[in-house]
Amino acid sequence: MSLTIEEQIKAIEGEISSTNYNKATQLHIGRLKAKLARLKGELEKRRSTAAPGKGYSVKKSGNATVALVGFPSVGKSTLLNKLTGANSLVAEYKFTTIDVVPGIMYEESAKIQVLDLPGLIKDASKGRGRGREVLSVVRSADMIILMLDVFETKVQVLIRELEIAGIRLNQNPPDVVVTRTERGGVLIKATVQLTKMDEEMAKAIVSEYGYINADVVIREDITEDQLIDALTGNRMYMKAIAVVNKIDLAEKERLNVIKKSLRGLSPVFISAEKDSGIENLRKAIFDKLDLIRVYMKRQGAEADMKEPMVIRNRSTVGDVCDQIHRAFRKHFRYALVWGKSAKFPGQMVGLEHRLVDGDVLSIVVSRGRAI
């Protein structure tokens, strides 16, 4: 009698947890991890095509969206109200927020949507506390605030639930390219020395994903988990910071210990109730989102220096065209740029020109009009 996908997943998880990780077992565990990730992907596809239950629906708004992720009763609703003026219910008992409550924060000319989400608990990724619905909303955001308080700082529980849901925090996608070929088997082409896994393991993992013939180019020293992420293809790589609330209730020594434990998450310390640290948090959110401001100029007129267009850092002139209207790219002739990205004032550039904060931009379309 064949095992169900759930039974196979449980069996593999048990085998991985009971196997000591060493050089002799490294290849075997790598294969098991790859098979586990593939089976979990199949299970999620089945669930997504099954009859949908009640979920959360949030219309994105503004220049970026930030999700407040944390345990119940850490002060997410109070913080949302302080940042945005939204009317999110606040109470002293758990699970006050039973739906997604959006608000808009204005900072440095940017309009940033902030989402107050129901609290996450252990095994949320398995559906506890409507965890799957909450995590699906988190995946649609541009940035995550991991919200803790001075009494509950087990951030690894939150990170683990996010990782199981395919969300990677403050990481870049692994530089891996897999190309199917007609023959030759699986060929690993590493342009750097692989110190965290060998080519045999890489080949075994790629084969587990059904590749019989393929060229695999690896351009950085990655782990087997990163290779699995690249092959899975549905991972979300998101910016994140930690926010520690209720600092007015803790001693300085306690805050220093928390700060060291959260070093990799750029922690911001606040007291939402006392309105302490909120301005620092606003700035931290804007900086982490890595947004820039570009000032538009019509031909023959002064640039509008009061209301800039807020875009992502490293955006191009083409990205600005798309944000204004998708037809602009089609009718684009050239653009003129003043600012740090220009070699000289009023430089003529094309769609691929990258803009920087403070640039002034004039776009000329085929009808002879400049925007």
pLDDT tens string 95-106: 444 578 889 999
Is the pLDDT at 350 greater than 60, yes or no?
Answer: yes
Q: Give the span between the Cα atoms of 197 and 160, in whole angstroms.
A: 23
Q: Is the pLDDT of residue 335 over 90?
A: yes
What CA–CA distance (Å, rounded) separates 302 from 92?
Answer: 53
C-alpha 16/C-alpha 29 separation (Å) is: 6
**Mean pLDDT for all residues in the chain:** 87
Mapped onto helix, strand or coil, the DSSP state of residue 56 is: coil
The stretch 311-340 carries a mean pLDDT of 91
Per-residue pLDDT at 28: 85
- Select the more confidently predicted residue: 347 or 132: 347
Domains along the chain with CATH numbers? 5-50+174-232 (no CATH), 64-171+235-289 (3.40.50.300), 292-365 (3.10.20.30)
120-133 per-position pLDDT tens digit: 767 666 666 667 78
Global confidence as pTM: 0.83
The separation between the first and the last C-alpha atoms of the chain, rounded to the nearest angstrom, is: 68
Mean pLDDT for 169-189 is 94
- Rounded distance, CA 351 to CA 335, Å? 8
Q: Check pLDDT > 70 for residue 50.
A: no
The pLDDT score that the predictor gives to residue 276 is 94
**Alpha-carbon distance 144 to 160, whole Å?**
14
Task: Work out the average pLDDT over 311-330.
Answer: 89
Per DSSP, the residues of 112-179 read: EEEEE-PPP-TTGGGTGGGHHHHHHHHHTSSEEEEEEETTB--HHHHHHHHHHTTEEES-PPP-EEEE
> Given this model, what pLDDT does residue 94 score?
47
pLDDT tens-place string over residues 207-248 = 999 999 999 999 999 999 999 999 998 899 999 999 999 999
Q: Which residues pair with 187 in a beta bridge?
A: 215
Type of residue at 340: K
Q: Which residue from 210, 223, 261 is spatially nearest to 38, judged by alpha carbons?
A: 210
